[in-house]
Structure 1
Amino acid sequence: MPQPAAVVSDVPAPAVPRWLLATRVAKAYVALTKPRIIELLLVTTLPAMVLAADGWPSLGLVAATLFGGYLSAGSANAFNCYIDRDIDALMKRTRNRPLVTGEVSERGALVFAWVLGVVSTAWFLVVIGSVLATVLSVLAILGYVVGYTLILKRRTAQNIVWGGIAGCMPALIGWAAVTDSLAWEPFLLFLIVFFWTPPHYWPLSMKFRKDYAHAEVPMLPVVAPTRRVAIEMIAYAVAMVVTSLVLVPVGGMTWVYLAAAAGAGVWFLNGCIQLYRRSQRGESKLREMRLFRESIVYLTVVFAAVLVDPFLPDALTVWG
């Protein structure tokens, strides 16, 4: 017996509202800027500005600097997404990024990155009015896009060490936005972030070692034994803690900052040592992501202490 023909509905699919389409597109472009990474960058900018001003700078300057910093970092991250779209497509952690899913076209992403870069440069120059902050912002973009993404990332296991310099720049930019100059204090803040970056990022690389290996990105945990990675993490963590303590006499910091920096430093350093011990015992669960999250807590605590310090009584100053 012949089967009845399938009934084809003449009812068209409901149209997606334009506002909803526009929202989806906007979210995709915002995702290119990697907002979660920028949050960490801004965490270092504001305390540097407060320390430079020895109190609150004008709220207008703070807002303008943070906005300019978002544009600058967003430009660098958008360029990174464009350049690394082939790698992102191979890694489970990044395969949902807009350029991989097709939510944003390659041309659209490239234009977006350039626009953010040009606007951020003009913003620092015209609105904030600091040539030094403008130059530092441009150097941060070039450092991340050219230095890290184009040159280092696919060629050396030390990619995140030297490529991470771009992520240290917000401390210098924040200080320059307030004073239009530089001093030892912002360079020490710069170095804290520099030494923090490897023990922050390598645990993540350990967790996604197979992803990076599949994409042929030579992160240190991909090409070196876990024991060696852990030892290098401890070395960088020690340098980070020492640098944070050097800020005490140089910046005239209080006992509150000293306690926060020393306490958080010992706590995080212990986490690195525990990871080393677990690797020595051959444990399968190294708890890498726990250490990754702890690194974020550490940086937040130290820079929160920097933020609060100028408002504390002079009597609490360590070197009075």
Structure 2
Amino acid sequence: MASRSLDAGVGAQALPADWRDFLALTKPRVLSLVVYTGLCGLLAAPGHIHPVLGFAAILCIALGAGAAAALNQWYEADLDAKMRRTAGRPLPAGRMERQSALHFGVGLGVFSVLLMGLATNVLAAIVLAVSILFYVLVYTVWLKRRTPQNIVIGGAAGAFPAVIGWAAVTGEINLLPALLFALVFLWTPPHSWALGLYIKSDYAAAGVPMMPVVAGQKATRLQVLLYTLPMVAAAIAPWPLGLTGAIHGVTSVILSAVFLALSARVAFSTQTDQALMKPERILFRYSILYLFLLFGALVADRVILA
């Protein structure tokens, strides 16, 4: 809409926000992967949950992730304004007041935790609350502006949904959801650093100490490969441990072999022009597909071989 100026900037008089701006605060594209892994954790869990309560659990995961994203944007409005990739978001673009984003995020987060506790069980609600607080306080407030390890430690925030989905059904956390947590935790650095390698200038302009900015491209590429190795182990481990069947096992081996090969290409690439970083772009895009297919195989294994 032409009347909704993108040039107002942080700190200027914000225009009245509409529903699209509040939706944008939840980072819908990121939300899709969060909801998907949570759903797969729920569907792969042993036992039964009523479909209505299962839907409520997934809704709570989505609302909780959206709340964390909104609070992240509330806190990082100044950083977002400095990066081309994020300058069009509601707060830096001047389409929303910061206080509105704060109230929206807090309200959404509290509601999601309370509803999860009422619909499923206390453990699932506690893990959901921890995931929101971890993303906002540990990753956004503490780590993001201070250390290149922000993605490494902060990756735990994105690893919670599958555990929450599992806990919503079973009321407990055992080895398989712990391995799923480890998988996403270890997946996050190569996924994020592959992106960071070709948008390095954005992070540098905002003063965010991402690995490519602080350590350089060569060191970051090596880190991508080094984190891929334990990630592959976590992805395949459920099969030999007898926690999943052949569908998940064979799929994890094939998908992880491709991931490892792409990571090796990134590690040994000598390209320095960000516009030409094809191995990094390919790995970033594949990493998303990798997680979708791997978690899908987990559910197929449960449904078909149950």
Give the TM-score normalised by structure 2.
0.91
**Cα deviation code 1:84-122 (max 9, x no counterpart):** 000000000000000111211111111101110111111
> Aligned partners of 1:88, 1:282: CA distance in 2, in Å?
25
The residue correspondences of 1:113-262 to structure 2 (distance < 5 A) are 113-128=105-120, 130-262=121-253
Question: Which position in structure 1 is the counterpart of 2:26?
Answer: 33
Amino acid at match of 2:200: R
Quick check: 1:46–1:307 contact (8 Å CA) kept in 2?
Answer: no
Quick check: 1:203–1:289 contact (8 Å CA) kept in 2?
Answer: yes
SS at match of 1:53: coil
Question: Which position in structure 2 is the counterpart of 1:286?
Answer: 277
The residue correspondences of 1:4-15 to structure 2 (distance < 5 A) are none
- Per the TM alignment, residue 282 of structure 1 is displaced from its structure 2 partner at its CA by 5.8
Question: Which position in structure 2 is the counterpart of 1:264?
Answer: 255
> Aligned partners of 1:283, 1:216: CA distance in 2, in Å?
20
Quick check: 1:185–1:251 contact (8 Å CA) kept in 2?
Answer: no
> Aligned partners of 2:202, 2:53: CA distance in 1, in Å?
41
SS at match of 1:253: coil
SS at match of 1:248: coil
SS at match of 1:110: helix
Question: Which position in structure 2 is the counterpart of 1:106?
Answer: 98
Amino acid at match of 1:133: A
SS at match of 2:62: helix
- Per the TM alignment, residue 289 of structure 1 is displaced from its structure 2 partner at its CA by 2.1
Percentage identity across paired residues of the two chains:
37
1:91 aligns with 2:83: yes
Question: Which position in structure 2 is the counterpart of 1:277?
Answer: 268
Question: Which position in structure 1 is the counterpart of 2:11?
Answer: none
**Cα deviation code 1:6-61 (max 9, x no counterpart):** xxxxxxxxx99xxxxxx97001001001011111111211121122126x743223
> Aligned partners of 2:304, 2:61: CA distance in 1, in Å?
28
> Aligned partners of 1:313, 1:167: CA distance in 2, in Å?
28
Amino acid at match of 1:101: A
> Aligned partners of 1:103, 1:161: CA distance in 2, in Å?
32
Larger Rg: 1
Amino acid at match of 2:24: A
Question: Which position in structure 2 is the counterpart of 1:6?
Answer: none
1:47 aligns with 2:40: yes
> Aligned partners of 2:101, 2:52: CA distance in 1, in Å?
30
Quick check: 1:64–1:127 contact (8 Å CA) kept in 2?
Answer: yes
SS at match of 1:98: coil
Q: Which moved more, 1:80-89 or 1:228-237?
A: 228-237
**Cα deviation code 1:53-73 (max 9, x no counterpart):** 26x743223211110001101
